[in-house]
Each structure stands twice: as structure tokens, then as C-alpha cells.
Structure 1
């Protein structure tokens, strides 16, 4: 199969195949990695369906995709903690496009950094409902359509926190360990069917992640990135586009992606730090 040129970060990148004629679904697409992934997939030729709770941001995203690519992306409201919302979203996507080739399970969050002894149980439940149950429900509902496409692909956004736990991150890490386990199980369950399964596991990425984690405390959130060159949402979007544009027989099982300044979930080189 020949190669084609897609524009990622303004540069021509050769890909094994492109997304023309294929539909990609991205959850949590209103900001950060989800938003940039939707844009990158549209640039690569995919028809894109995006979902998130913040509908006004989805409208801005679809406008940007239309300006850049000349094609319209389609957006539906989506709260992955609600089975009813997921059902309505999937019905909208399938009803409009009639098919789905790629599912990017990006919706997820971390809330709080308290130890178990003083942790907020409402935060725990929201992380479990979003990061685990939301991912599983989206996947369950779209697997039949991914199989029917003849060339399906599930991309789960995990984390380095799914490989290494740290103090104050017990439940968030547990959800990402769960994503890792679910992804591995899916590979076994879908073996022999035309669906690839990939886990993208980033380290530190500078998005709204820390602002959400610290419940809007921008001062505390900014300290997370001090002295470090973190990854960007575009860096992870590039990895996702790479994975889904390999030939159909090539499965990228897992990518652990970190900044050059990170060597573990809690191990960083910070400029100006004293030993």
C-alpha cells in the first residue's frame, strides 16, 4: 500500500495509509489531548465525530476543523458517566455516518491529591465512573460497529500512572491500571476479528489536567510544570494518528510516552532545582 502526506504541526508527514473514507470517534474532545487528536485525525483525512460535555467548545472545535480541512466534523453532547448520554451519542454517530472505524477513548480525569485517609469519596466515584465505566460503556456499544467496519481500531488513553503508583494518586492510578487491564483483555477478546487495540500511556502533558485535578486552583496547577519541559497535547495526538494510520495488519499494542525531563511517574529533571 502506498503512502500519503498528512499535515501534522504544519509539516508533511508520510503515513502508511490515510483516513479518507473512515470515521473516527473522539471522546472528551472539548480540550487538551482530545481536542488536538480530533484536529489531527481530520487533517489525516478521517471524518470525525466528537463528544464532550462542554458543547460550546465542541462548536469552536468543529469550526476550526472546517476552516483547516474544508470538511465538517460532527459533534454531539456526551457525558461518559451517563449511560443514557452514551446511548444517545452512539445513536447519533451511527445514525449519521452509518459506520465507525476508530474509537479514541480519551475522556478521563484526575481529581485531588489527598491520601486515602483523607480523600474525597465523591472525587473517587467520579474518577471511577469517568475513567473506567465510561470507557467500558463506550467500547461495548461501539465494538459491533468497529467489527462491521472490517478495519476497526480502539485507542485507549491510559497513563504512566497505569504502570507506577504514587502517593496521593491511589484512585486515579487505580483507574489507569484498570484501563491497562481492560485494554489487554480486549486484545484477547477481539483476537481474530478486524479490530486493533492500542493503549497510549502519556507521562506529564501540559493541558487542563492539573487545573481540573486541583479543582480550578491555577497556582497549584502551575507548580506541576515548573522547571519541566512537559509534553503537549499535540505530541500525544501525533502518536494516536501514527497508531491508527498503520497498515491494517499492524497493531501498536502500547506506547509509553514521556518528556525527556521525566523518567517515572514521580521522577523529573527540573531546571533550576537543587539536589
Structure 2
């Protein structure tokens, strides 16, 4: 991307935020009000990637870049920093954290690169005065729950708090499900929610041990459910019905038919 294109986009954002002639909606925004849009755009980038939609990815990356520019503009208006500061900080960080590319440590192994990366991050925190007292520090509270659970587990694993293989992790999932069933029998809604959280947390741990991204796995399952459900609706409509006037048995039959129709040739 040329400097001219970036400058044009920065100028557009400045015009949108102009106190007198800008857009009323853009002018009234602040960091907090824009933050949800920033998160949403990041997820839409992930969705375009999952769908293999490269045209969509191009557009979504533009929308995500807009969020960065928006935040940088608001910061500039308050005399905090500007877009150049953001990009300069990023450039310095990437060069600093990749001595195996930009310095004299070329040929380092992946394990050495990870160790160096963590050491550099620790040094950066020391310079800024940020003191971490726990191995779990540095995991943002605002992360989506599945991602935050996985990051907490990875950090714990770095200091040895982890199962060495998959079998005990799977056993833990089963144990948590049993505890959930007990809570359900008790009728204690708070206990049910607590045990359900344990089930989900242990499922994320299982996905980590299986080297599968829990968030992407759940997205895939949701997409699969959506496809099957929409096909059920279509099949019901073809027969002159809607799903809400069918019996449980009829719904189950439609579900099985949709599942069979959409199954991969080698997976039913």
C-alpha cells in the first residue's frame, strides 16, 4: 500500500471527525463506543477466511483497518498518539521480536524462537513498568470466552501445569459432564451454570490437546447446524409445511434427512 493511499484514508477520517463539517455519527463516537465494532470486524475477517472468500477478505481487512485508523484519529485529537506512532511502534516491535530474521540469530530453531520471544516480551514489560506476578498475567479479560480459556491453559502449560497426553483430558471432560448431571438433578441453577462452565473449559482443554482451535471448531459446528436447519426448512416448505407445525418425530426425520443429504461422501 502506497503512502499516498494511507494519507488519503487518514484525511477521509479527519474529515469525518471534523467538528463542524464531519459526519454526526462519526463525530460522537469514542474509544468505548467503537470497540465493539473493532471486535466485530476482526470476527468478520475470520469468517471470510473460513469461507475461503478472498474478495470478502479484502473488504473485511479494509473494514478492520478502518477501525485502527478510527482509534488512532481519536487518540490524535486528544494529543495521545497518531497513526504514525501506531505504525512506528509496530515496526519497532516486529524487528525487535524477530532477531532471527533482522539480527544475527538466523537459523534459530522454533523452540529457541519461542524462548527468545517470551524473553523479549518480558523485557518490554520491564521497561514499561508492567509487573507480572502470575504466569497467567497478560490474558485480556475482553477476549471471547473460548479464546481466553485456551490462552489461560497455554500459559499454565508453559510452567508444567498440564496433562502430558490426551487420555486424562478426555476423562476430565467425562468427569465434568457427570458433575453437571448431578447439579441438574439438584435443581440448583447456580450450580448448573458453574458445572456447565467447567464442561466448556475442559472441552477447550481437550481441543488444545488435539491441536484443534476450539473457536474454529465451534464455528464449523454452527455452520454445519445452520446448513442442515435451512435444508429442513426448505424440505418442509416443499411439502407445504413450516417447522413449527410439525411433530417432534417429523422434525427428527427431517433432521436425519438433511444430515444424510449434506454428509460428505465418506462421512455419514
Give the TM-score range, shorter chain.
Answer: under 0.3
Bigger helix share: 2
User: Quick one: higher RCO (CA 8 Å, sep 6+), 1 or 2?
Assistant: 1
- Determine which structure has the larger strand proportion and give its number: 1
TM-score (normalizing by structure 2): 0.23
Please identify the structure whose Cα radius of gyration is greater.
2
